Structure 1
Amino acid sequence: MKYKSTRGGHREYTFEEALFAGYAPDRGLFVPASLPVITAEQHLTQWSKLSFPQLAYSVLRMFVHPSEINDEDLKSICDKSYPRDEFDDESFIPVKKLGSAFVAELFHGPTFCFKDIGMRGVINLLAHFATVRGRAVTILVATTGDTGPAAVHAVNDVACPLLSIIVHYPRGQISDFQRKQLTTVDSKYVKVVSFEGGGDDMDWPIKETLLGNCDDIAIGGRTFCGINSYNIGRPLLQIVHFIWIYLRMAERLGIEPGDKYCMIDMVIPTGAMGNLTGGYMAKLMGVPIGRLCAGVNING
């Protein structure tokens, strides 16, 4: 599997290159050069019997070539990304009936935010490559509340000597609970700073920092990496929970996995649409997802 920029060009990149760069050198975003196909017979029927970490491995294997991460290491990454004792529900994402609809609860992770589910995988992938390459990596993050705590908790948990994080949040514009999640972590791998301004005001300086070093992003022997929703690792990991939810819905409704005559519509609260992108990619790959409805508020 190779990756390319949304702005075109002929060059293709490895998964590792796309993951660490965040933005493509032409200021576009990285996407798979082609999407793998998911079928009922070869995938969904078998996947319906898997645990969440096993499903994550099966999905990631489609996007990461074995020459970059072998089977054993990828399985280990997925196991470490979804430890049973870090999630307060054994199914990771329970699906519950509410009136005529169903609700997928994505808040059972360590920071009570759906971003725990995808962020932990991204952090463990970065830690793996940093260790293999023997290079120090500093993650740069801007947060308006959810991304920061999930990333801080994951970086602290992985405790990789080569992986650290700097989180920036707008002073007075996140909840007290989220601020405490960020500022009460005592970790040598974590730095948290506040700034004056709006929630998106750090996006430009972080983007310029990353793009200014696209060809040689090592500064002082340390590589800078961004993991907000523009990083391809985020939607790839989020594909997993869309497939998981679809499979749980198929069970509840008595649908054969992959039945294209029984589409499942999904309503998703969204901001930067990274999570929605994961659902859309799953749909394009062949998962019988019907309508994807994006719910936004004034912050979106």
Structure 2
Amino acid sequence: MRYISTRYDPSSSSPSSRRYSFREAVLAGWAPDGGMFLPERIPHVSRGVLESWRGLTYPELVTKLLALFMDDGDAEDATQNAEVDKVPLRKIVDASFASFAVPEVVRWKALPWPYLSSSSTTASSSASLPLSCHPLPSFLEKQEPPSLYIAELFHGPSLAFKDLGMQVLTNLLEHYLLQEGRRMTFLVGTSGDTGPSAAAAVQGKVAMRLVVLYPLGRVSTFQEAQMLATHGGVGGSGEKASGAAAEAKAGTLGTPNVRVVAVEGSSDDLDVPIASLFGDPAYRCGWFRDPPSHDCQPVE
């Protein structure tokens, strides 16, 4: 599987004509021409394969899906086969969900029948109780009466749905960076959920450092406390924080590879300097990579 920019132009001699491996796309984040990466093709999954996946656990399903977007099905590039090792991939995925509060990662709960129909006046005792369904919801099969299921996406370390993707992404990045003997710094601007999720995912990583910027007074007290609890530096947003957020910072040593900074303005205002930084390939290569990568510019 190769990846191209949304501004892909095969007739051009510029970076817009280049095709990237999964590893390159993950490490770069954005294409060098300013576009976003997308797979060159969408893998086909037959109905039979989908049926065979119904009994998979959530980590098993994630591993199957990731492999589809990592494999080079037409064997175009033999080096890609060495890059995709199913054993470490499964280990990476399992490690990504090990910190979740429930073993099924995503828990399904049945909405009691009385809430589904105003015309219903009675309900069985079993239908009125929450029903855990694992690994796949039983609404895929015919039922009498029909049921509505709710997916609980809040069992990750930051209690946000973004943990589902963030944990896997950061573990993939850590895996690739350690293989290459490099470190990388990540800059995040958040309006609430992304910051705590990213900080929780990067904590303890050897090859990754994180700087989180958040708008002062424009995130919830709980989210601010979550971020400041991971802050490992001195100063920064601590002087501006108050209440529960200040107490959270005062009561923790944080983690050395995470810095949290409160800034004036809105989350939209944060986008301006961040976009400026990422629009400068030379700066990205020199400041965000340790050591600076000689092949950084064509990759990013």
Aligned equivalent of 2:28: 21
1:220 to partner: Cα distance:
7.6
**Structure 2 CA distance for aligned equivalents of residues 67 and 215 of structure 1:** 31
1:206 to partner: Cα distance:
2.0
Aligned equivalent of 1:81: 96
- 1:147 pairs with one of 189, 194, 197: 194
| Aligned residues of 1:81 and 1:124 also touching (Cα < 8 A) | yes
**Structure 2 CA distance for aligned equivalents of residues 190 and 103 of structure 1:** 34
TM-score by length of 1: 0.68
1:172 and 2:217 matched: yes
Judged with a 3 Å threshold, the aligned counterparts in structure 2 of structure 1 residues 221 and 3 are, in CA distance, closer, same or farther, namely closer
1:130 to partner: Cα distance:
0.6
1:168 to partner: Cα distance:
0.6
The one-letter code of the counterpart of 1:148 is: G
**Structure 2 CA distance for aligned equivalents of residues 187 and 26 of structure 1:** 35
Judged with a 3 Å threshold, the aligned counterparts in structure 2 of structure 1 residues 215 and 33 are, in CA distance, closer, same or farther, namely farther
Aligned equivalent of 1:109: 156
The one-letter code of the counterpart of 1:64 is: M
Judged with a 3 Å threshold, the aligned counterparts in structure 2 of structure 1 residues 7 and 223 are, in CA distance, closer, same or farther, namely farther
1:67 and 2:82 matched: yes
Runs of 4 or more, structure 1, over 6 Å off, are none
**Structure 1 CA distance for aligned equivalents of residues 101 and 288 of structure 2:** 41
| Aligned residues of 1:138 and 1:223 also touching (Cα < 8 A) | no
| Aligned residues of 2:184 and 2:290 also touching (Cα < 8 A) | yes
| Aligned residues of 1:25 and 1:214 also touching (Cα < 8 A) | no
**Structure 1 CA distance for aligned equivalents of residues 181 and 164 of structure 2:** 27
Aligned equivalent of 2:39: 32
Judged with a 3 Å threshold, the aligned counterparts in structure 2 of structure 1 residues 149 and 89 are, in CA distance, closer, same or farther, namely same
Moved more, 58-67 or 162-171: 58-67
The one-letter code of the counterpart of 2:279 is: L
Judged with a 3 Å threshold, the aligned counterparts in structure 2 of structure 1 residues 110 and 49 are, in CA distance, closer, same or farther, namely same
**Structure 2 CA distance for aligned equivalents of residues 132 and 204 of structure 1:** 33
Aligned equivalent of 1:188: 256
Does the residue aligned with 2:269 lie in a helix, a strand or coil? coil
Judged with a 3 Å threshold, the aligned counterparts in structure 2 of structure 1 residues 39 and 220 are, in CA distance, closer, same or farther, namely closer
Judged with a 3 Å threshold, the aligned counterparts in structure 2 of structure 1 residues 189 and 45 are, in CA distance, closer, same or farther, namely same
| Aligned residues of 2:186 and 2:288 also touching (Cα < 8 A) | no
- 2:108 pairs with one of 80, 85, 95: 95
- Highest RCO, 1 vs 2 (Cα 8 Å, sep ≥ 6): 1
**Structure 2 CA distance for aligned equivalents of residues 207 and 170 of structure 1:** 16
Aligned equivalent of 2:207: 162
Say what the alpha-carbon RMSD is for the aligned residues.
Answer: 2.0
**Structure 1 CA distance for aligned equivalents of residues 62 and 291 of structure 2:** 27
Bigger strand share = 1
Deviation string 1:49-89 (CA, Å, 9 cap, x unpaired) is 11111111111001113432311111111011111xx2222
Does the residue aligned with 1:197 lie in a helix, a strand or coil? coil
Gaps of 5+ in 2: 11-17, 72-80, 117-147, 231-253, 293-300
Higher Rg: 2
1:214 to partner: Cα distance:
6.8
Deviation string 1:20-45 (CA, Å, 9 cap, x unpaired) is 2222122111111111012221x212
Judged with a 3 Å threshold, the aligned counterparts in structure 2 of structure 1 residues 218 and 76 are, in CA distance, closer, same or farther, namely farther
| Aligned residues of 1:87 and 1:109 also touching (Cα < 8 A) | yes
**Structure 2 CA distance for aligned equivalents of residues 196 and 215 of structure 1:** 24
**Structure 2 CA distance for aligned equivalents of residues 184 and 214 of structure 1:** 33
1:102 to partner: Cα distance:
2.5
Judged with a 3 Å threshold, the aligned counterparts in structure 2 of structure 1 residues 208 and 45 are, in CA distance, closer, same or farther, namely same
1:207 to partner: Cα distance:
2.7
**Structure 2 CA distance for aligned equivalents of residues 2 and 40 of structure 1:** 25
1:217 and 2:232 matched: no
| Aligned residues of 2:3 and 2:22 also touching (Cα < 8 A) | yes
| Aligned residues of 1:7 and 1:26 also touching (Cα < 8 A) | yes
Does the residue aligned with 1:201 lie in a helix, a strand or coil? helix
Gaps of 5+ in 1: 225-300
The one-letter code of the counterpart of 2:51 is: T
